[in-house]
Amino acid sequence: MSTAGTTVTPHITPLQAVWHRPAARKLLLLAAVTAAVAPFAAARWGSGAWPHALTVDLTGPLGRANDWIIDNRDSHWLFLYFFGHISNAIVVSVRAVYVVLLALGWAGVTAGAALLSWRLAGVRAGVTALASFAVCGLLGMWVPTMRTLALMIVAVAASVAVGALLGLAAGLSDRTFRALRPVLDTMQALPAFAYLLPVVLVFGIGVAPAVLATVVYAAPPMARLTALGLRGTDKGVLEAVDSLGATARQRLLTARLPLARRELLLGVNQSIMMALSMAVIASVIGADGLGDRVYQALSTVDVGTALTAGIPIVLLAIVLDRSVGRRSAGRNGWAQSHPPGRTRTVTTWVVSIAAVVAAGRLAGTSWPSTWTLQIAAPVNRAKDWMVDHLYSGIPGIGGTADAAAHYTAWVLDPLRSGLQALPWWGALALVAALAWLIGTWRTALTATLSLAAIGVLGRWEPAMDTLSQVLAAVVVTLLLGVLVAVAAARSDRVERLLRPVLDVFQTMPQFVYLIPVVALFGVGRAPAAAAAIVYALPAVVRIVGQGLRQVDPAAMESARSLGATGGQQLRQVQFPLARPQLLLAVNQAVVLVLSVVIIGGLVGGGALGYEVVFGLAQGDLATGLMAGTAIACLGLMLDRVTQPVKAKEAN
């Protein structure tokens, strides 16, 4: 600061020039702080991984808490009168829905789903639903599909209700909104695995905690979108409604809620997709159904069975996504939808429900066993063939297993050793610098504290392992994503080809991405990274592509009129103007990659994800909980480091 203060001469020294750049000023300040603190910290605690002296061992207290809960689960009033009731209510409702689904029979459910999709989203959605359910039956997965569906229906109903209530509160009150928003934002950035352990600690293993974890995971998007929808109501319309003398209730019911319809439907859609993704992962804590089949199969590397259960998951995701929300909330929804007469609608519904029930009763409860197709064995044969022919020895390329090994040896391992060798104070300073450069001092502080919390919990080494996998995968994702997005932005044909693919890929739950990579690369850290890349790629392509295409056509036209080449346009106009989207893409890539890298613990990814699975499998909740907390901290840190400054919003 003294440099800027003392030299008043008009001549600007290089130091002053540096000082006038905010980014440089931040870095200088941080460097000064680090230079002052680091030698002391290094001398006191050493310069390797997080010093042992600064950790707090929570294994003892957590273990005792776990024991206490297990001992008192059947006697303490908290469980008897509160958690017990919640748990029972969930189990009873899931069972009730399951029984209804079974009673409807395969024909009833299929016809019902097709009818519902048709009414909600048109003929194509109806046909998709019909075909999808038929395939689920054909694969012999009817019963697990129904179990997952029953769990989903209860979880989605609960998350939509909870989310809508929270969103209503946040939409109507500024204070609630300000309090809730950072919480919701953070919850959406955390990997699904972080939610599992707290519920297991309280509720044990079973359907109830699975549903609860799903609700906790799926409610935030609904709450967020409800609040945003309510707050985004056209001020002019609200003023007009006020000028007519509407009461607060009339205002909400006749103006704000109907005007937020788009956001509400989108919220339901997102809730459903999140719920499906979590309901599948929750098989780790006792949710049965399709996820459980995949989980069991993957643990024995039985790719055929995993695929047999994975296909219905994907189909379910596509049907749910196409039927609810996204399409029916089209931009011109108001202009197109002409509400038909109410009496006619009611009659139609009564008739169709009766038809569905009748069909179900006639056709029988479960999918006829003679109509199934066993694909597990052929798939496994194909996989064996792949192991023999593709894994290695292809001239020139090597093979998939070779590639995985190379990726592990040349990218993952050095990165991991580098991160683990990084002095702990250096890592803290690095994170602070990155977060501060992109965001504000608040985000930097949160990020640094989160990283420190991981160290305090004693999970420094595995966290660095996970971080190395995340970084390696994010770099690949961004490179590929930007390449594809640029191609799509420059050619309409590529874009048209890409769009349906992206649509499907974005709807699939994280879990199913593990199946093909295990088939292709075996188990280990490389396949986990591959799954993460495939999972995060569509979002990155979509965000970057949107950013590039949204660039002001006038700016592009003026660049062309000045004779800029394609590359110049890209570098000098499109990328700079799409900067917000590029930053968002980085943020999303990091968040999405982390969520899959953690799940990769199921297929040999090791590190934090494995510790959670291990804790659950061994009943060692203390280890699992600490790893889960470290995952949450890592997610928070990564999200904050990549979080760009948000433009001040009007409300």
State the residues that interact with other proteins by CB under 8 A.
234, 236-237, 239-247, 250, 254-255, 258-259, 261, 332, 334-335, 338
What does the alpha-carbon distance between residue 460 and residue 471 come to, in Å, rounded to a whole number? Answer: 16
Q: How far is the CB of 260 from other proteins (least distance, A)?
A: 10
| 559 Cβ contact list (under 8 Å, min separation 6) | 568, 569, 572, 573
Shortest Å, Cβ 314 to other proteins: 35
- If the CB atoms of residues 26 and 261 are measured against other proteins, the closer one turns out to be 261
Nearest CB to other proteins, comparing residues 236 and 500: 236
**CA 451 to CA 141: how far, in whole Å?**
43
Are the C-beta atoms of residues 203 and 87 closer than 8 Å to each other?
A: yes
Q: Which is nearer to other proteins, 250 or 558 (CB)?
A: 250
Asked if residues 313 and 512 have their Cβ atoms less than 8 Å apart, the reply is: yes
**From the CB of 229, what's the least distance to other proteins, in Å?**
13
- Please tell me the distance from the alpha carbon of residue 508 to that of residue 595, in angstroms, as a whole number: 14
Closest distance between other proteins and the C-beta of residue 233, in Å?
10
Quote the least distance from Cβ 442 to other proteins, whole Å: 24
Token reading at 281: 């992962």
Nearer to other proteins, 242 or 552 (CB): 242
Task: Name the residue with tokens 């319309």.
Answer: 237
Closest distance between other proteins and the C-beta of residue 226, in Å?
17
Supply the minimum distance, in Å, between the C-beta of residue 223 and other proteins: 23
Rounded Cα distance, 624 and 194, in Å: 10
Residue with smaller CB distance to other proteins, 241 or 445: 241
Q: At what angle do helices 142-172 and 123-138 cross, to 10 degrees?
A: 140
Cβ–Cβ < 8 Å for 93, 161: no
- Least Å distance, CB 240 to other proteins, is 3
Which is closer to other proteins, CB of 245 or CB of 553? 245
Question: 225 or 634, CB closer to other proteins?
Answer: 225
Q: Which is nearer to other proteins, 161 or 253 (CB)?
A: 253
394 beta partners: 398
Residue 473 in contact with residue 535, Cβ under 8 Å? no
- Name the 3-class secondary structure at 394: strand
Which residue number, 256 or 525, has a Cβ lying nearer to other proteins?
Answer: 256
DSSP assignment string, 172-240: H-HHHHHHHHHHHHHHHHS-GGGGHHHHHHHH-SSHHHHHHHHHHHHHHHHHHHHHHHHHTS-HHHHHH
- Three-class SS state of 139: coil
CB 172 to other proteins: min, Å: 17
